[in-house]
Amino acid sequence: MPPPSPQAVVAHLLAGDAVTRWLGAEVLEASAGRSVLRMVVREDFVNGFGTVHGGITFALADSAFAFATNAGGFISVAVDCTISFPAAVRPGDVLVATAVEQVTTNKLAFCEVTVTNQDEQPVAFFRGTVYRTTRPHALAAGRGTEGSAA
Amino acid sequence: MPPPSPQAVVAHLLAGDAVTRWLGAEVLEASAGRSVLRMVVREDFVNGFGTVHGGITFALADSAFAFATNAGGFISVAVDCTISFPAAVRPGDVLVATAVEQVTTNKLAFCEVTVTNQDEQPVAFFRGTVYRTTRPHALAAGRGTEGSAA
Amino acid sequence: MPPPSPQAVVAHLLAGDAVTRWLGAEVLEASAGRSVLRMVVREDFVNGFGTVHGGITFALADSAFAFATNAGGFISVAVDCTISFPAAVRPGDVLVATAVEQVTTNKLAFCEVTVTNQDEQPVAFFRGTVYRTTRPHALAAGRGTEGSAA
Amino acid sequence: MPPPSPQAVVAHLLAGDAVTRWLGAEVLEASAGRSVLRMVVREDFVNGFGTVHGGITFALADSAFAFATNAGGFISVAVDCTISFPAAVRPGDVLVATAVEQVTTNKLAFCEVTVTNQDEQPVAFFRGTVYRTTRPHALAAGRGTEGSAA
């Protein structure tokens, strides 16, 4: 069975992804090895400093990473991620996360995600590595064995 | 003005932290350089694989990291974080994030956070570095200059 | 063919490892999932600040990581590493790198390495992830296909 | 005293940097926030797999990172680094490490380094964060307080 199209994969992932939908993230682009997400920062995204919780910015980047690395049609699962926070994010900011797969080997893919705000200022530098399985996304059915590199 | 007590700082941070409260995380321990959070994984924490979104696990670890590194009373802001995902997390799991500050210098602190599930199996290894400011947490008042390493 | 013993694997790796021998690192312990290396810091390990080059400390940690994750007998190759530098290292210091594999899945292993100096002060926190192949170390013969996750 | 020129800083750093000189790395470019190093991979750079030791590739990237972040004239010290290894390196390869500072705040700078081989294939993705001191590089004299973020 050939893998499904990138758009079908991302639509499938997004439909089941309660977190990305809670974030209110919108998919601006999705192709094999690339995705772009956009999100408006809400008041309920703050931490105890009144700035945006790092987990929110990470989650947006992580979703872009998952969409970019899975859009090729085979299930890929996150192994390691790193994130740096060069600037604070605040409610009302509009974030864009751009994920680009840089190198794909037989078993792994290496992806960079940059998150910028409405002033095109970087607010997060994210890198992620996935383990690439040989299981295609089964768009219509059960996901019993998905989501694990074990 | 001496810095406030660790418990007062963490209570202050948690009161303003909409994300940690949305997660339903409970503070099991909080002292200078150490915190432990516990969370029950809800159905709405999943990604498109039906497993728990990496951003949720990261957010829990990041909150534990923030509490541990700020409980000493001075404002500390996250610079770099890394996370690895050795096992999938699923709805119904109960996660415990234990954050321990390992080294504190004049300007920086280095913290390790391990997240385990109800079987004491590690599901995330997190490390974070903060920049330590010399501003004490002003528990009663404005936070206009908090939350930025700039 | 069963995999060779941990000691045999590490002796084999060390024999071919020009960098670890140049460092003067000594193997204090080697077992499946664990290794400890010790090194005296030489004058020629410095950077332009007169302190020890980060690449030297990283190399020591990386060797301990490779030995710990390969000692089980199957070829494992590094995917991602992170290192933090909580204190400077100086010529004359004696470093000990302790690598411990924390979780091993079918395809991956997650390892932590701490480097301390002669005062038992941490000078580096390192984490590394390997991709685990199913090829045993061929101790007597060619290594044509080793060392690649591709 | 104004900070010295980028070229003077890098020449000063390189003169004292025994490791970068041992690597045989050549400075192709050096300006405030950017540096490019080139290195031919020698036989004595290998690990026990017969491929190049991760510490060698890291060291090259770390030197490029140090030069880029110090060339502005003030002493900056490494805090956290991450590296991913998308492809193996072999003796005879020619590596180019390009370091670009992406964001500079009052206290921190965030830098990306990509290492490619003679086929322009990426062999390492490196990120590093420095703590920026306010001490200018004292090009003629002692370095007693350099090289520590403490």
Which chain A residues are within 8 Å of B12, Cβ to Cβ?
48
CB atoms within 10 A of CB C129: 26
Nearest to A82 among B62, B82, B149 (CB): B82
Q: Is D110 on the interface with A (CB under 8 A)?
A: yes
For an interface test with D, the pick among A69, A103, A120 (most D C-beta atoms closer than 10 Å) comes out as A103
The secondary structure of residue C49, as a DSSP letter, is T
Q: How many CB atoms lie within 10 A of CB A80?
A: 26
Alpha helices in chain D (DSSP H): 6-16, 18-23, 54-70
Q: What is the SS3 string spanning B1-39?
A: CCCCCHHHHHHHHHHHCHHHHHHCCEEEEEECCEEEEEE
Percentage of chain B lying above the pLDDT 70 cut? 91
List A76's β-bridge partners, or say none.
A132
Of the candidates C56, C50, C54, C90, which has an alpha carbon nearest to the alpha carbon of residue D16?
C50
Size of the B and D interface in Cβ pairs below 8 Å: 32
| More confidently predicted of C148 and A9 | A9
CA distance C82 to chain A (A): 9
Q: Output DSSP code: residue A4.
A: P
Q: Decide if A58 and B63 are in contact by the 8 Å CB cutoff.
A: no
Asked if C112 and B125 come within 8 Å (Cβ–Cβ), the reply is: yes
Give residue A148's pLDDT: 47
Cβ–Cβ below 8 Å for C56 and D54:
no
| DSSP per-residue letters across chain B | -PPPPHHHHHHHHHHH-HHHHHHT-EEEEEETTEEEEEEEPPGGGB-TTSSB-HHHHHHHHHHHHHHHHHTTSEEEEEEEEEEE-SS---TT-EEEEEEEEEEE-SSEEEEEEEEE-TTS-EEEEEEEEEEEEEEEP-TTS--TT-S---
D94 or D137: which leads in pLDDT: D94
Q: pLDDT tens across A111-121, in order?
A: 999 999 999 99
Residue A82 · residue C82 · CB < 8 Å = yes
**D64, D99 Cβ separation under 8 angstroms:** yes
Residue C138: strand, helix, or coil = coil
β-strand C74-84 against B122-136: which pairing, if any? unpaired
- Answer whether residue A14 is part of any domain: yes
pLDDT at site D83: 98
What is the ipTM score, two decimals?
A: 0.93
Q: Position of tokens 């021998």?
A: C21
Single-letter residue type at C79? V
d(CA B36, nearest CA chain D) in Å = 24
pLDDT of residue A144: 38
Cβ separation B103–C112 shorter than 8 A: no
- Asked whether residue C20 is assigned to any structural domain, the reply reads yes
- The confidence score (pLDDT) of residue A3 equals 73
Average pLDDT in chain A:
92
Nearest CA to D44 among C59, C94, C89?
A: C59
C11 Cβ under 8 Å from any chain D Cβ = no
Kindly state whether residue C21 falls inside one of the protein's structural domains: yes
Residue A144 lies in a domain: no
Biggest CA–CA distance in chain C, Å, is 50
Cβ of D105 and A125 within 8 Å? Answer: no
3-state secondary structure of C12: helix
Per the structure, how many domains does chain D have? 1
Contact C18 D44 (CB under 8 A): yes
Q: Is the CB of A129 inside 8 Å of chain C's CB atoms? A: yes
What the block records as the tokens of B37 is 């959070």
Cross-chain Cβ contact D129/A84 below 8 Å: yes
Q: Looking at the complex, does the CB of residue C147 fall below 8 Å from at least one CB of chain A?
A: no
- The structure tokens 């790796």 sit at C13
Contacts of D129 in chain C (CB under 8 A): none
Tell me what percent of the residues of chain A surpass a pLDDT of 70: 91
pLDDT at C63: 98
Nearest neighbour of A80 by CB, restricted to C107, C129, C150: C129
C129 touches chain A (CB under 8 A): yes
CB of B135 within 8 Å of a chain D CB? The answer is: no
Is the Cβ–Cβ distance between A115 and A103 less than 8 Å?
A: no
β-sheet with A94-104: strand ranges across: A26-31, A34-40, A94-104, A108-116, A122-136, A74-84, B74-84, B122-136, B108-116, B94-104, B34-40, B26-31
- On whether residue A1 sits in a domain, the answer given is no
Q: Which chains touch A (3 or more CB pairs under 8 A)?
A: B, C, D
The verdict on residue D143 lying in a domain is no
Three-class secondary structure of residue A128 per DSSP: strand
Contacts of D105 in chain A (CB under 8 A): 86-87
Low-confidence ranges of chain C (pLDDT < 50): 141-150
User: Is pLDDT above 60 for B46?
Assistant: yes
Q: Based on the number of CB atoms within 10 Å of its own CB, is C119 exposed (0-12), middle (13-18) or buried (19 or more)? A: exposed
Is some CB atom of chain A closer than 8 A to the CB atom of D131? Answer: no
Which helix H or strand E contains C22, and what residues bound it?
helix C18-23
- Residues D115, D87: Cα–Cα separation, whole Å: 11
Query: How many helices (H) and strands (E) would you count in chain D?
Result: 3, 6
CA distance D94 to D99: 17
Q: Which positions in chain C touch D150 (Cβ < 8 Å)?
A: 87-88
Single out the residue of A107, A108, A13 nearest to residue A64, CA to CA: A13
CA-based nearest distance D132→chain A, Å: 14
Question: Taking CA atoms, what residue in B is nearest to A80?
Answer: B84
A74 assigned to some structural domain: yes
Nearest-10 crossing angle of helices B6-16, B54-70: 140
Check CB contact of C102 with chain B, cutoff 8 Å. Answer: yes
Within an 8 Å CB–CB cutoff, is residue D139 touching chain A? Answer: no
Identify the band that residue D140 occupies on the pLDDT scale cut at 50, 70 and 90. Answer: low
Min Cα separation D37/chain C (Å): 15
Say yes or no: D103 contacts chain A, CB-CB below 8 A. yes
From the list A18, A50, A51, the residue facing B46 with the nearest CB is A18
Closest CA to D33 of D123, D99, D120: D99
Per-residue DSSP letter, D105 = -
Q: What is the CATH number of the domain that holds B26?
A: 3.10.129.10
Res. D1 pLDDT band, cuts 50 70 90: low
Closest chain C residue to A106 measured between Cα atoms?
A: C150
pLDDT on residue D144: 38
Helix (H, G, I), strand (E, B) or coil at C4: coil
Which amino acid makes up residue B150?
A
Q: Residues 12..71 of A with a Cβ closer than 8 Å to D: which?
A: none
On whether residue A149 sits in a domain, the answer given is no
Confidence of residue A4 (pLDDT cuts 50, 70, 90): confident
Q: Do B105 and C125 touch (CB under 8 A)?
A: no
- Residue C138 pLDDT: 81
Residue A20 CA to residue A99 CA, distance in Å, equals 15
For residue A50, the enclosing domain spans 6-136
The CA distance from C24 to the nearest CA of chain A, in Å, is: 31
Cβ of B134 under 8 Å from any chain D Cβ? no
8 A C-beta contact, residue D123 and residue D56: no
Structure-block tokens of residue A52: 């945006």
Tell me how far CA of residue A53 lies from CA of B94, C75, D70, D108, in angstroms. Answer: 22, 40, 31, 20
Q: Which residue of D has its CA nearest to B104?
A: D150
- Listed in sequence order, the residues at least 6 apart from B129 whose beta carbon sits closer than 8 Å to its beta carbon are B78, B79, B80, B81, B108, B109, B110, B111, C84, D79, D80, D129
